[in-house]
Each structure stands twice: as structure tokens, then as C-alpha cells.
């Protein structure tokens, strides 16, 4: 187990290093960050000062090393850097201090706020949306998969398979637009739902209050694809398990069909489903970008799209790094969880 974790963490570090290289050289080549900070009214002297402050007067390779030192949890900084950047962590040394710190994702060009603060404020909205979508997919997908397997070759089975294929194939952004328009606009009188909205609403009288109804449409939209996947996986696993000898033995002992299906077959069919759930949660975190933008849901996706529109590249770069980190962590946890669910699986890869 320990050697497997070390190997997977090492792979994850290489993945994140690749992401850092890509996002830096991709976004560093767009526009002039000094001009983005000051706008079109900045004079040449001020622009040069900002370029020096952002190390834009240095060669690209040196700029990259500075950026790598900022985003790395282990870095070398001066006392001045620690104070100006408000770095949080443990530092030791003299003039040049080496330390273990929270990665410094720099500051927004537009708001001048630390990027990590902006993203951490938006992260709960994305996690809540992702958890809601996955919970919806699990609660509906597993029973639909079981029903489809038990009623194999009937209209129920055909309908479930057709709907699953449609859910997997349809683009999320297109489904989001359709659902928002139909249920949030055309049928708003009956559903009471809106096309857009965030988790909290502000009332001039009562102030800030929770608005869970705004979560319904984006959660359904985001949960359609994992719902289809879970339904298909549950159906396939159940069809395989229902043909096992111990299932026939259970029937021979006089157990009811309900007991055989739900108490004996389903628990043994959930291994691939559990793996898919953990893997798809990472996918959902990345897939919320379009959904949050369509439904104006305040999360990392919405913040990133807004930052792109404003050419606020530090926020975009920070968002990509945070999302990639979650992707790596969740996939490692998925591998470990698979061995907990099925001890027959060995962590050798």
C-alpha cells in the first residue's frame, strides 16, 4: 500500500508539474500583463515599474522559475517576499529562507486580491454543486440499473438503455441551455425556478439567505451524464452477477426475488459503480465550468470564465492548478477506495 501511494503521488507531482508548465507558457504569451494591470491609461514609466515588479523584464525562463517558486509548496524566499506576498507557512534560514508554505498563486490583475482567496471563496459553491449532482446520479442511477437488469429485454430495459446512451452523448452545455430555458423560463410559472441564481440570495430587508431552489437545475444538468454512466454500469454488473452460481443457490433456498436482488446481487455488483463514482466526481469538478456559467452559479467555473473575459490570467492559471490538484487527489483516493471495497484487488500498478 505504502509503495503504491508513493508511486501514485510521484505520478501526480509529474502531472501537476506538466500543468504548471503548460498554463505558464500558454497564458504568459497573451497580451502585456503590465498593460492589463494599468489599463490603457498607464504611462510608460509606470508600466516599466509594474513590469519590474512582476519580473516581466526578466527572460522567460527566469520568469518561469519565479512562478514555479511561487506555486511550489517548498520554496526559497526572502523576508521581504514573505511579507509582501503574505506567504503562510514555516520558514527557516537567514537572508534566503527555505520554507514549506501554502502555494502562492499571485494576485488578480483586476481586483488586486490574492488569487487563493478568490478561489477558496468560490470553491464551496463548486463542491456543493458537484456533490448534489453526484448524489442525484447515485440515487437514481443504481435503482434504474437494477430495474433494467431485472427486466432485461423488456420495454423498461430498452428505455433505460436508450436514455442512458442519450445522456452520455448529449453535450452538457447544450442540455444546460435547454433545461434552463424550459424549466427556468417557459415553465417558470409552474416550477418556481429561475434560469440563473446562486446558493445565496440577498434581500434588502432580511439580508442574505439560503436559496436551495437555485441548485436544482444546475445539479440536474451536471448529474445527467454520471447518471447515465452509473445506470449502464449497474445494469452490466447486475446482469453478470445474476448469472452466478450463488444467486441460483439463493433462489433454490427459497429466498424471495427482492431479497436475492437487493441483498445478495447488488452489493457484489457495486464495485465498478463505486470506482466510477469517485472517478466521476473529479470529472464533475472540471465539468462545472460551463454549467456554472450557464446558470450563473457562483463557483470556480464562473470565476474562471469571468477572469478569462477580463484577461485576468493569474485567476485563470490558479483555477487550472487547483482543479488539476483535485483531479490528482480524487483519482488516488479512487484507487485506494477500490481496494477497500474489493480486497481481491492488489495495488501493484
Residues 116 and 102: their CA atoms lie apart, in Å, by 9
Does 276 share its domain with 231?
yes
Average pLDDT over residues 316-332: 86
Q: pLDDT band at 43, cuts 50/70/90?
A: low
Average pLDDT, the chain: 83
In a domain, 109, yes or no: no
DSSP state of 107: B
Taking alpha carbons only, the member of 256, 244, 228, 255 closest to residue 165 is: 228
Q: What is the pLDDT of residue 119?
A: 92
Q: What is the pLDDT of residue 328?
A: 85
In a domain, 44, yes or no: yes
- H or E stretch at 30: none
Does 286 share its domain with 162?
yes
Q: What is the pLDDT of residue 182?
A: 92
Q: What is the pLDDT of residue 253?
A: 83
Q: What is the pLDDT of residue 42?
A: 60
Q: What is the pLDDT of residue 8?
A: 81
Q: What is the pLDDT of residue 140?
A: 92
Q: What percent of the chain has pLDDT over 70?
A: 87
Contacts by 189-194, CB closer than 8 A, 24 or more apart: 193/217
Residues 85, 69 contacting (CB under 8 angstroms): no
Q: pLDDT band at 198, cuts 50/70/90?
A: confident
Residues 336 and 247: their CA atoms lie apart, in Å, by 29
Beta-strand relationship, 74-78 and 96-101: antiparallel
Given 51, 82, 104, the domain boundary residue is 104
The CATH number linked to 208 is 1.10.3720.10
In a domain, 349, yes or no: no
Does 236 share its domain with 302?
yes
**Is the confidence at residue 116, as pLDDT, over 60?**
yes
Does 173 share its domain with 231?
yes
Does 190 share its domain with 201?
yes
Residues 167 and 159: their CA atoms lie apart, in Å, by 12
> What domain range includes position 82?
73-104
Does 65 share its domain with 88?
no
Residues 247 and 172: their CA atoms lie apart, in Å, by 39
- pLDDT tens for 129-177 read 988 998 998 999 999 998 998 888 888 888 888 888 888 887 777 888 8
Q: What percent of the chain has pLDDT over 90?
A: 10
Q: What is the pLDDT of residue 251?
A: 83
In a domain, 133, yes or no: yes
Lowest mean pLDDT across 103-107, 171-175, 232-236, 286-290:
286-290
In a domain, 266, yes or no: yes
Does 169 share its domain with 291?
yes
Beta-strand relationship, 74-78 and 200-203: unpaired
- pLDDT tens for 252-292 read 888 888 888 888 888 888 877 877 777 677 677 767 888 88
Task: Give the length of the chain.
Answer: 349
The dihedral of CA 109, 86, 125, 176: what is its sign? Answer: positive
Given 104, 124, 144, the domain boundary residue is 104
In a domain, 348, yes or no: no
Burial pattern 184-216, b for ≥16 Cβ within 10 A else e, equals beeeeeeeebbbebbbeeeeeeeeeeeeeebbb
Does 331 share its domain with 246?
yes
**Is the confidence at residue 68, as pLDDT, over 80?**
yes
Angle at CA 222, nearest 5°, toward 219 and 225?
A: 135
Q: pLDDT band at 117, cuts 50/70/90?
A: very high
Residues 227, 137 contacting (CB under 8 angstroms): yes
Give 142 or 346, the one with higher predicted confidence.
142
- H or E stretch at 100: strand 96-101
Beta bridge partners of 92: 98
CB atoms within 10 A of CB 53: 12
**Is the confidence at residue 185, as pLDDT, over 60?**
yes
Does 55 share its domain with 88?
no
Does 59 share its domain with 155?
no
Domain count for the chain: 3
Q: pLDDT band at 32, cuts 50/70/90?
A: low
- pLDDT tens for 307-322 read 888 878 889 999 999 8
**Is the confidence at residue 87, as pLDDT, over 70?**
yes
Does 95 share its domain with 128?
no
Does 173 share its domain with 289?
yes
In a domain, 280, yes or no: yes
In a domain, 244, yes or no: yes
Amino acid at each position: 500500500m505504502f509503495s503504491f501511494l508513493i508511486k501514485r503521488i510521484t505520478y501526480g507531482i509529474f502531472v501537476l508539474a506538466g500543468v504548471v508548465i503548460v498554463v505558464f507558457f500558454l497564458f504568459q504569451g497573451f497580451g502585456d500583463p503590465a498593460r492589463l494591470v494599468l489599463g490603457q491609461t498607464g504611462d510608460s514609466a509606470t508600466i516599466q515599474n509594474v513590469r519590474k515588479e512582476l519580473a516581466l523584464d526578466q527572460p522567460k525562463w527566469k520568469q518561469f522559475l519565479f512562478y514555479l517558486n511561487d506555486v511550489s509548496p517548498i520554496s526559497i524566499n526572502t523576508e521581504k517576499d514573505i511579507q509582501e506576498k503574505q506567504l503562510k507557512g514555516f520558514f527557516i534560514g537567514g537572508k534566503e529562507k527555505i520554507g514549506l508554505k501554502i502555494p502562492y498563486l499571485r494576485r488578480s490583475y483586476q481586483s488586486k486580491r490574492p488569487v487563493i482567496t478568490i478561489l477558496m471563496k468560490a470553491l464551496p459553491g463548486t463542491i456543493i454543486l458537484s456533490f448534489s449532482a453526484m448524489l442525484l446520479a447515485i440515487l437514481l442511477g443504481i435503482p434504474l440499473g437494477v430495474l433494467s437488469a431485472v427486466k432485461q429485454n423488456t420495454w423498461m430495459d430498452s428505455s433505460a438503455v436508450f436514455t442512458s446512451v442519450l445522456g452520455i452523448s448529449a453535450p452538457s452545455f447544450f442540455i444546460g441551455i435547454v433545461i434552463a430555458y424550459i424549466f427556468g423560463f417557459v415553465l417558470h410559472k409552474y416550477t418556481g425556478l429561475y434560469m440563473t441564481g446562486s446558493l445565496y440570495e440577498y434581500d434588502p430587508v432580511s439580508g442574505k439567505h439560503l436559496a436551495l431552489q437555485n441548485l436544482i437545475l444546475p445539479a440536474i444538468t451536471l448529474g445527467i451524464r454520471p447518471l447515465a454512466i452509473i445506470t449502464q454500469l449497474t445494469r452490466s454488473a447486475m446482469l453478470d452477477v445474476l448469472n452466478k452460481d450463488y444467486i441460483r443457490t439463493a433462489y433454490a433456498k427459497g429466498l424471495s426475488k427482492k431479497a436475492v436482488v437487493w441483498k445478495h446481487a447488488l452489493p457484489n455488483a457495486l464495485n465498478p459503480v463505486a470506482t466510477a463514482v469517485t472517478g466521476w466526481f473529479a470529472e464533475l469538478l472540471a465539468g462545472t465550468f460551463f454549467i456554472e456559467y450557464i446558470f450563473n452559479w457562483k463557483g470556480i467555473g464562473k470565476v474562471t470564465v469571468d477572469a478569462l473575459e477580463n484577461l485576468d490570467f493569474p485567476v485563470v492559471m490558479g483555477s487550472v492548478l487547483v482543479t488539476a490538484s483535485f483531479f490528482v487527489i480524487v483519482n488516488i483516493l479512487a484507487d485506494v477506495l477500490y481496494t477497500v471495497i474489493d480486497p481481491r484487488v492488489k495495488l501493484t500498478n
